[in-house]
Amino acid sequence: MEILRSQKKISAQAAIPTLPVYRSAPSLEVRLEDFELFAIDRLRVLTGISNGLSRGKKPDEMEKLGNDLWKANMRHHDSSRMLDKDIISHFVLRLVYCRNEELRKWFLTHETKLFEYRFRVESVESQKALMAEIGFPYTAVGIGELEDMRENLNQVARSIGRQMLTSDALFFKVPFEEVPELISGRKVYIHKGFAYVAMNQAVNIVTGMFRSNLSKGLVLTNRKWTTTLKEQEKDRLTPIVEALSTSYLGPDYSQPKEYAEISIKDIDKVASSSFPLCMRHLFEKLREDHHLKHGGRMQLGLFLKGVGLNLDDALAFWKAEFSQKVGSERFDKEYAYSIRHNYGKEGKRIDYTPYSCQKIISSTPGAGDQHGCPYRNFSKENLEAALSKMGVSSRLMGDVMDKVKNRHYQLACTLTFEAVHASSCDSGINHPNQYFIDSQKILQAKVTNSTTVKNETT
């Protein structure tokens, strides 16, 4: 890629299948808009996969989902540029997600899954080509040996509920150490230290190799990023790259649209009925301590803006609390600016967007901070106490805590939403303001329902 000046250039590879293995960054010219847009499209695919996985979809459903997402987002109007888009977006996201362990792990997991789904739908011929390209080191079992083993291989196939071997069946002879997941379920025939791995089982090895190559690549990219690129590109690519990792791809909640503004007097009521736990916690802490540190003010302040609190009300709201602690004079001097700043009335005059779940989850609150995602940051006991205060029954509590244990914080929040509202939330919670709006929708529908019922009965 021309933009990444220091990346190695390689000669165009001949006859690449439609699925690249991303060995090294290609020498392509990329327009700056494409740089970002392609990356966002790929990110939609990866986030979609992530959502699907955390919902516990089965492997075959995931394979379909992955390929559907790919078709929906990664097409290019110029079909000859589809492969370019694929490769460019991959390498841009490498830059975006190389920068810390958590980002790397997320990217590694989902990019590997994506590769697996795409690999599985390739033809056997192109699968073979890909395996060669990725450096799959095991050779196929010869026909003679296969004949000797046939009875045992068939027996294994039947034992795991697979079809009998076809005449052109392809098996690889792999040291058993390389395929622990196939050994543990007795899913392969093993003889004298070698596992006889069928083509469809070899996918695990191939994706494992893809993953480890990518993992090494990410570490190298990170080194390059921190030593040279970040500084070199500080006016051009760096801002794009840094924004992309926390970018949120759902609807825009910066302007309250569907619901009228809320006023200060209603705020306590809606806080207890419709705020997600992260905001509720900040809100209660503010009422209790009459103070919040910067991270908390940003998280709650922008959320309230999205909810529909106008600037004047926001100033009055924050002042009412803060002045009890720091005095109204100090509030005007030190804190009012940043509130007006959030509303785009100071400084760069950008109308800031409320934080998405992804951004809140990835924040790292320090001592005295109250912001961040409670599902992630609270202790088990504190979280359970907070949830039961919100009205989550002990029956549903276990489900929520289960999701927390498996680090599916957004799903935990979604389950909480469903428990509190006694109503399903199919889209899942991706944004605190979405939580608020969905909650209001349900509550208002209930109000209208009960009034119509009343009207009918009278």
Partner 1 sequence: MTKEEIDNDRDDMMIDEREQQGFPLMQCVQEEFDPEQLKFYYGRLFPYADIYKWMSYGNDRKHPACDLSYFGRREFSFILGNDVYLRYQSFNSAAQMENSIKSKCPFKIDIGAVYSVDPAKRNAYAGENAFTPVEKELVFDIDMSDYDDVRYCCSGANICQKCWPLMTIAIKVIDSALREDFGFTHILWVYSGRRGVHCWVCDARARRLNNAQRAAIADYFHVYKVGNENSRKKVFLGGPALHPSLVRSYQQVLRPFFEEDLLCGQSLLETEEKFEKILEMIPDESITAKLRGEWLGNHHRSSNSKEDINRVRWEKLKSHLQSGKQKWLRRCIEEIIFSYTYPRLDMGVTKLTNHLLKAPFCVHPKTGRVCVPIDPKHCEEFDPMAVPTLSSLKKELDTPDLENGEGKKFESGRTSLDKSLTVFRLFLDPLLKSCKEEMEISYNAKLQQSKSSLTW
Which residues does the annotation place in the binding site for [4Fe-4S] cluster? Answer: 278, 357, 373, 413
Site residue total, partner 1 (CB under 8 A): 21
**257 phi and psi, to 5 degrees?**
-115, -65
Does position 326 bind partner 1 by CB under 8 A?
Answer: no
140-179 positions binding partner 1, by CB under 8 A: 152, 155-156, 158-161, 176-177
Residue nearer to partner 1 on the CB measure, 144 or 193? 193
CA distances to 118, 255, 263, 268 from 312, in Å:
53, 16, 10, 17
Q: Which of 360, 362, 328, 363 is nearest to 434 (CA)?
A: 360
Measured from the CB of residue 198, what is the shortest distance to partner 1 in angstroms? 14
Specify the residue, 144 or 185, whose C-beta has the smaller distance to partner 1.
Answer: 185
The phi, psi pair for 349, rounded to 5°, reads: 60, 35
Nearest approach in angstroms of CB 215 to partner 1 is: 16
Least separation in angstroms between CB 59 and partner 1: 17
| Smallest separation, CB 184 to partner 1 (Å) | 4
- Which residue lies nearer to partner 1 by CB, 195 or 302? 195
Query: Whose Cβ is closer to partner 1: residue 180's or residue 398's?
Result: 180
Q: Which is nearer to partner 1, 96 or 165 (CB)?
A: 165
Q: Which residues are annotated as a binding site?
A: 278, 357, 373, 413
- Shortest gap between Cβ of 193 and partner 1 (angstroms)? 3
Contact 370, 293 (CB under 8 A): yes
Burial of residue 371 (number of CB atoms within 10 Å: 0-12, 13-18, 19+): buried
Q: Please, what is the minimum distance in Å from the beta carbon of residue 180 to partner 1?
A: 3
Of 3-32, binders to partner 1 (CB under 8 A) are: none
- Interactions with partner 1, residue window 409-438 (CB under 8 A): none
Q: Could you give the string, one character per residue 349-388, with x where binding to partner 1 holds by CB under 8 A and - elsewhere?
A: ----------------------------------------
Which CB sits closer to partner 1, 163 or 424? 163
Cβ-in-10-Å burial (0-12, 13-18, 19+) of 256 comes to buried
Question: Between the CA of residue 34 and those of 31, 90, 131, what are the distances in Å?
Answer: 5, 12, 30
**CA angle 79–85–90, rounded 5-degree value:** 150
Rounded to 5 degrees, what are φ and ψ at 172? Answer: -120, 145
Those residues whose C-beta lies under 8 Å from the C-beta of residue 307, and which sit 6 or more positions away, are: 256, 262, 270, 433, 436
Minimum Å gap between C-beta 401 and partner 1 is 19
Nearest approach in angstroms of CB 381 to partner 1 is 14
From CA 259, how far away is CA 65, in angstroms rounded? 33
Contact letters for partner 1, residues 101-140 (x by CB under 8 A):
----------------------------------------
Q: Pattern 181-220, binding to partner 1, x per CB under 8 A? A: x-xxxx--xxxxxx--------------------------
Nearest alpha-carbon partner for 73 in 49, 53, 51: 49
Determine how many CB atoms are found less than 10 A away from the CB of residue 265. 8
We find the least distance from the C-beta atom of residue 97 to partner 1, in angstroms, to be: 24
Q: Compute the least distance from the CB of residue 380 to partner 1, in Å.
A: 13
Other CB atoms within 10 Å distance of the CB of residue 422: 10
Query: Rounded CA gap, 92 and 35, in Å?
Result: 7
Task: Output Rg (C-alpha) for the chain, integer angstroms.
Answer: 27
Nearer to partner 1, 166 or 184 (CB): 184
C-alpha span between 48 and 271 (Å, rounded): 30
Rounded Cα distance between 294 and 89, Å, is: 35
Backbone angles phi, psi at 195, to 5 degrees: -95, 135
For partner 1, give the closer residue by CB, 138 or 259: 138
Compare residues 159 and 228 and give the one whose CB is closer to partner 1.
159
Neighbour-count burial of 167, counting CB atoms closer than 10 A to its CB (0-12 exposed, 13-18 middle, 19+ buried): exposed
Quick one: angle between helices 124-134 and 199-224, nearest 10?
Answer: 40
Binder to partner 1 among 137, 180, 327, 391 (CB under 8 A)?
Answer: 180
User: Which residue number, 31 or 150, has a Cβ lying nearer to partner 1?
Assistant: 150
Residues lying near partner 1 in the complex (CB under 8 A) are found at 152, 155-156, 158-161, 176-177, 180-181, 183-186, 189-194
